[in-house]
Every structure is written in structure tokens, then in C-alpha cells.
């Protein structure tokens, strides 16, 4: 290794005045949720879904049912201990039908393809388990989610009465 004399180095203003920007942080990769993720999962769910967030006891039960090896509760861990998203799919006993119970991406990480990444991974896992049909509901005004689901092959189903209760309208889709 050789060093350039200082006098010569000072002739290159560009190298001295324009520091190289730090590399973009790597995108978090989906992985199966762990028990140790539960506090962070509760934080993220509450931050994104606020008054309709899952209660802590239910998140625990859903983790016990659908987390673990090969499970259908996936999280996006950015490596610093903070979760940036999750997807949760529930399946019937024989795995022929499944429901996406939640798809969540932290507000500051939206519009980076993370929701798509989570959905693609969970749909691949469901396919490997023999799932034939996946359903979900989505707020009618959530255009970004509707476009995502349509791009993944989901199509609206006819209305099913009051599937979400009297407080909110939902669009039911199947893929």
C-alpha cells in the first residue's frame, strides 16, 4: 500500500469535499416470528393499527398458533432489534383455506416493497402447505393495499353481509 504525498492530494478537491454517502441500510428480510419478538410485535401493531390493534394476550396466542418454525407469522427485523413489519396468516386444519389476519409495515418504511415481500413469502409458504385459497379483508379506502393485493392475484368477492361489524366497511378478496 502506498500513500500519496499531501501536496498532490490537495490538488484533488473533489475527493476532499465530497464524502461518500453511507451505504443504504439493507432491507430487512422476512423471518418466522420468535417468542422474543412479542414485545416489539405489540409495539409495532399498536403503532400502526392504534385503536384496532390486537390485544397483547391475543398476539401471544396467535404467535403460539402460527409462529415458530415454518409458521405463518412472519416479521421484518432490521437487525437493530426493531421490527419493521409483519404478516399473519391463519389456516384451516387441513390447510386448504387461509386468511391473512394482518399485514403491517412501519410508517417510515412504507413504499419500499416490504409489504409485497412479506406477502410473497407467506403466500409461498402457504402454497407449500397445500393451501388452495387465501382470503383477506381490506379497508375500501386503502388504495395502496388494494393495489398490492390485486397485483398478487387477489380479486374482490361479493359482499358477505356485515363481515366486519357495523363500525367499518371492508372489501373481501380472495386469491
Kindly provide the residue ranges of all beta strands, DSSP E only, lying in 14-157, ordered along the sequence: 29-32, 73-77, 83-91, 97-105, 133-138, 155-156
Whether 69 is in a domain gets the answer yes
Whether 144 is in a domain gets the answer no
Q: Cα–Cα distances in Å, from 26 out to 29, 76, 78, 86, 124?
A: 9, 12, 8, 17, 22
Q: pLDDT at position 168, please?
A: 46
Whether 114 is in a domain gets the answer yes
More confident site: 26 or 53: 53
Per the structure, the complete domain to which residue 43 belongs is given by 27-136
Whether 40 is in a domain gets the answer yes
Which pTM value belongs to this model? 0.77
In this structure, what CATH number is given to the domain that contains residue 45? 3.40.630.30
Q: How far apart are CA 3 and CA 121, in angstroms?
A: 49
> Over the stretch 58-74, which tens digit does the pLDDT of each residue have?
999 999 988 877 789 99
Q: pLDDT at position 32, please?
A: 92
Whether 42 is in a domain gets the answer yes
Mean pLDDT of 82-97: 87
> Over the stretch 40-60, which tens digit does the pLDDT of each residue have?
999 999 999 999 999 999 999
Q: pLDDT at position 164, please?
A: 52
Q: Grid coordinates 399498536 are at which residue?
A: 46
Whether 115 is in a domain gets the answer yes
Q: How far apart are CA 163 and CA 137, in angstroms?
A: 9
> Over the stretch 94-136, which tens digit does the pLDDT of each residue have?
778 899 999 999 998 888 899 999 999 999 999 998 898 999 9
> Over the stretch 152-172, which tens digit does the pLDDT of each residue have?
999 888 766 655 554 444 455
Q: What is the DSSP letter of 80?
A: S
Contact by Cβ (8 Å): 88, 73: yes
Q: pLDDT at position 9, please?
A: 47
Whether 167 is in a domain gets the answer no
Q: pLDDT at position 88, please?
A: 95
Q: pLDDT at position 28, please?
A: 76
Work out how many domains the chain is built from and give that number. 1
Q: pLDDT at position 166, please?
A: 43
Q: pLDDT at position 87, please?
A: 96
Q: How far apart are CA 101 and CA 20, in angstroms?
A: 43
Edge-to-edge strands, sheet with 171-174: 29-32, 73-77, 83-91, 97-105, 133-138, 171-174, 155-156
Q: What is the DSSP letter of 107?
A: G
Q: Residue 161 is placed in which grid cell? A: 353481509
Mean pLDDT of 89-95: 81
Contact by Cβ (8 Å): 89, 98: yes
Whether 118 is in a domain gets the answer yes
Mean pLDDT of 128-149: 90
Amino acid at each position: 500500500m502506498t500513500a500519496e504525498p499531501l501536496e498532490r492530494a490537495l490538488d484533488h478537491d473533489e475527493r476532499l469535499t465530497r464524502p461518500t454517502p453511507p451505504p443504504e441500510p439493507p432491507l430487512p428480510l422476512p423471518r418466522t416470528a420468535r417468542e422474543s419478538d412479542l414485545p416489539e410485535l405489540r409495539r409495532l401493531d399498536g403503532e400502526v393499527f392504534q385503536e384496532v390493534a390486537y390485544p397483547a394476550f391475543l398476539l401471544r396466542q396467535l404467535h403460539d398458533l402460527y409462529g415458530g418454525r415454518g409458521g405463518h407469522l412472519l416479521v421484518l427485523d432490521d437487525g437493530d432489534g426493531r421490527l419493521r413489519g409483519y404478516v399473519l396468516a391463519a389456516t384451516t386444519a387441513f390447510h386448504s383455506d387461509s386468511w391473512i389476519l394482518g399485514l403491517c409495515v412501519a410508517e417510515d418504511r412504507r413504499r419500499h416493497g416490504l409489504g409485497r415481500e412479506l406477502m410473497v413469502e407467506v403466500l409461498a409458504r402457504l402454497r407449500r402447505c397445500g393451501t388452495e385459497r387465501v382470503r383477506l379483508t381490506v379497508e375500501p379506502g386503502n388504495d395502496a393495499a388494494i393495489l398490492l393485493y390485486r397485483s398478487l392475484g387477489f380479486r374482490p368477492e361479493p359482499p358477505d353481509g356485515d363481515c366486519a361489524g357495523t363500525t367499518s366497511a371492508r372489501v373481501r378478496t380472495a386469491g
